[in-house]
Amino acid sequence: MNEYLCHDFKTPRTDTSRRLPSSFRAIPVIFYVALIGSAYVMTMDYFNYKKALKQKTDAEERQKISEASTEAFRKEKADLEAEATKAEKVAEWMEGARNIQPIAVKIARAVQTDTRITQVSLERNEQVPSNIALTIHLNGSKVSTELAAIESALGQLLYRSYSPQQTKTGDVVEYHSTLVRQAD
């Protein structure tokens, strides 16, 4: 029978270093804990990155909505300012307008019974609303005295004639003038 014998040919060595301290046994544990911790931190960073992207897109949507509403408010403000400008022009127009009825009454009362008024036109100027363009067609014998009476009656209403013009065609006298309101 064959017996196998194993011989150890190692010789004790004195030039080797000592064994590591037993505290070094914690190094692999610390390595695996650090590996698991870094995996956890990387996972949490990935989720926080996704959350930050979602918050960024939400903020951009809110910014777009805010800009759209701001633009709508600017447009509405511009429309209101345009409307206010129109209203101011209308107010200026109305302020410049004086009641036309007293002028027509003064003209009618200044004319004598033997002279006929065939046409009276009172028009306001758009650029200068306080000025009134007066056109009268008179038919009669004493038209020049009637025109002087009309001008004096309009003077009582604080209007004076500016650049009066008369044209006579037969018995009809056409009188054009611009009535300017004098200061009170």
- For 40-86, the pLDDT digits (tens) are 999 999 999 999 999 999 999 999 999 999 999 999 999 999 999 99
pTM of the model: 0.48
CA-based nearest residue to 100, from 131, 70, 69: 131
What six digits make up the tokens of 44?
């949490």
Q: How far apart are CA 175 and CA 138, in angstroms?
A: 8
What are 175's two structure tokens? 């009188």
**For residue range 102-120, what is the model confidence (pLDDT) as tens digits?**
888 888 888 887 778 888 8
Residues forming a β-bridge with 138? 117, 173
CA gap 132, 135 in Å, rounded = 10
If you average pLDDT over each of 23-27, 94-98, 103-107, which comes out highest? 23-27
| Residue with the two structure tokens 């190692």 | 10
- CA gap 38, 151 in Å, rounded: 104
List, for residues 126-167, the tens digit of each pLDDT value. Answer: 777 778 888 988 887 777 788 888 888 888 888 888 888 888
